[in-house]
Amino acid sequence: MPPITPRQPLKPLDEALVELLGHAAPSDKTETVSTFDADGRVLAEDLVAALDVPAHDNSSMDGYAVRSADWQNAETVLHVNQRIAAGSNGSVLAAMSAARIFTGAPIPDGADAVVMQEDCTTPGPEQVCVATQPQVGQWIRRRGEDVTSGRTVLPKGELLAPESIGLAASVGYAALRVVAPVRVALFSTGDELVMPGDVAPQDMLPGAIYNSNRFFLRALLQRLGCTVTDMGIVPDKLAATKEALLTASSAHDLVLTSGGVSVGEEDHIKPAVQALGQLNLWQIAIKPGKPFAYGKIQNAHFIGLPGNPVSSYVTFLLLVRPFIRQLQGVTRFAPESIAARADFDWTKADKRREFLRARRNSAGGLDLFVNQSSGVLTSAVWSDGLVDNPAGRTIARGDMVQFMPLSSLMF
Ligand code: AMP
Ligand code: MG
């Protein structure tokens, strides 16, 4: 019998996160991708505008460009002597004249207002009358009101989204320098694990369970833009665990495993990582998700998540996601935490900080999933966020609590 390890003091989550992030030196590997393909990537350099956007004052309406001082009354007739469509250029607007103009077309010199066509009448060919006094600047989009030349429109470390690649394109970038994907090797441990498809539900032996962690961990990693090498299931044997870890540590930035991080006799992650590199095994003061391991094997980071599906899921969101974001050089990745009203009671205070699976209701409050067990994956599916409940705290209906929306924990 191996000696029983004495109980470790629990580590506060914030301390664990700071320590973990202390190991996540941002990657300096970059690549160039088409701006079309840059959604979800991380900018590796500041993006500086080399022009003003818009490049010229232009019309925000279909109508007439005028000189506001020409207007006397609704009978004042202006001579329409030019037509400026988007993509073309007009000439200087003479006194008592107007230019037929369309949305996006440059304002001709001399004009100081645009009148929308709905506010005009055309008493004769090439004539226009304006119903009310045009105000200087009306319906004109000013040069540089979106972007001024020389400005950094997107900083290094920006996580690119559809609107940001649109902005990059608006200042002329066809390709972007981005951080190379973080390469992650993923495997699950556990002799009880069976892959869906390998054994039909009615043929599952007692004690066997389908491997669910493999599916959501791989998907979460892919959502974060990682390149995933999925190594499948590794048996609960020391030699097999060591071999898998060694293979995984080459050509990967991060080795991520689930299960086997407790200190039971069938938990081989700890001795295997210790034999190959360094390991810190933490007992984090959170629920779900207490056991968590960080280490290094050769040049690769190692993170071992607990096996219970919800523990694995929550520790991924709270710890692995920020770790990966920092490796990618992302500058802003703290999840949102917003005050929300609990429309439920939570009567059992826990010694650990809890992350309760909850979802927003249409009355502006939060409902709680009935079963908060760390094995109940339906709780994660039902919820749209986590209530961050401090240690020792009960919650009464109507209390304000901190809520972390899943949307901000996944991207
Ligand atoms: P462990 O951390 O290996 O002690 O596992 C804790 C619990 O999580 C056990 O009930 C395991 O059967 C379960 N578990 C471990 N790995 C997985 C997995 N990949 N998918 C689903 N359940 C798992
Ligand atoms: Mg296990």
Task: Dump the DSSP string for 197-227.
Answer: TTB-GGGPPTT-EE--HHHHHHHHHHHTT-E
Q: Indicate whether residue 304 lines ligand 1 (CB < 6 A).
A: no
Give the pLDDT score at 36.
98
Tens digits of pLDDT across the chain (411 residues): 555 656 778 999 999 999 999 999 999 999 999 999 999 999 999 999 999 999 999 999 999 999 999 999 999 999 999 999 999 999 999 999 999 999 999 999 999 999 999 999 999 999 999 999 999 999 999 999 999 999 999 999 999 999 999 999 999 999 999 999 999 999 999 999 999 999 999 999 999 999 999 999 999 999 999 999 999 999 999 999 999 999 999 999 999 999 999 888 889 999 999 999 999 999 999 999 999 999 999 999 999 999 999 999 999 999 999 999 999 999 999 999 999 999 999 999 999 999 999 999 999 999 999 999 999 999 999 999 999 999 999 999 999 999 999 999 998
State whether the beta carbon of 212 lies less than 6 angstroms from ligand 1.
yes
> What is the reported pLDDT for 244?
98
pLDDT at 9: 86
pLDDT given for residue 4 in this prediction: 60
Atom of ligand 1 nearest to the CA of 236: 3
**Closest-lying ligand 1 atom to the alpha carbon of residue 261:** 2
Nearest atom in ligand 1 to the alpha carbon of residue 375 is 8
Whether residue 193 has its Cβ less than 6 Å from ligand 1: yes
Q: What is the DSSP letter of 42?
A: B
Cis peptide bond upstream of 291, omega within 30: no
30-52+146-179 falls under which CATH superfamily?
Molybdopterin biosynthesis moea protein, domain 2 (3.90.105.10)
How far apart (Å, rounded) are the C-alpha atoms in residues 304 and 300?
13
CATH of 338-409, one of 2.40.340.10, 3.40.50.720, 3.90.1150.200, 1.10.443.10: 2.40.340.10
Ligand with the closest atom to the CA of 306 = 1
Q: 188 CB less than 6 Å from ligand 1? A: yes
CA 194 to ligand 2 center in whole angstroms: 13
Q: Give DSSP secondary structure letters for 273-318.
A: HHHHSEEEEEEBSEES--EEEEEEETTEEEEEE-SSHHHHHHHIII
H-only helix segments in 127-187: 162-170
CATH of domain 58-141: 2.170.190.11
Q: Ligand 2 center to residue 2 CA distance, Å? A: 17
Is the distance from the beta carbon of residue 241 to the nearest atom of ligand 1 less than 6 Å? no
Q: Is the distance from the beta carbon of residue 243 to the nearest atom of ligand 1 less than 6 Å?
A: no
Give 274's contacts (C-beta < 8 A, 6+ positions apart).
295
Give the chain's end-to-end CA distance (angstroms, integer): 44
pLDDT at position 3 is 57
The pTM of this model reads 0.93
Give the number of residues written for the chain.
Answer: 411
User: Which pLDDT value is given to residue 130?
Assistant: 98
The Cα 293–Cα 277 span in angstroms is 13
Q: Does the bond joining 106 to the residue before it have cis omega, within 30 degrees of 0?
A: no
Of 209, 257, 269, 310, the one to substitute when testing ligand 1's pocket (max ligand atoms within 8 A of C-beta) is 209
Cα 409 to ligand 1 centre (Å)? 23
Does the C-beta of 288 come closer than 6 Å to ligand 1? no
The residues spanned by each domain of the chain are 13-27+181-327, 30-52+146-179, 58-141, 338-409
Query: For domain 13-27+181-327, is the CATH number 3.40.50.2300?
Result: no
Q: Is the CB of 227 under 6 A from ligand 1?
A: no
209 ligand 1 Cβ < 6 A:
yes
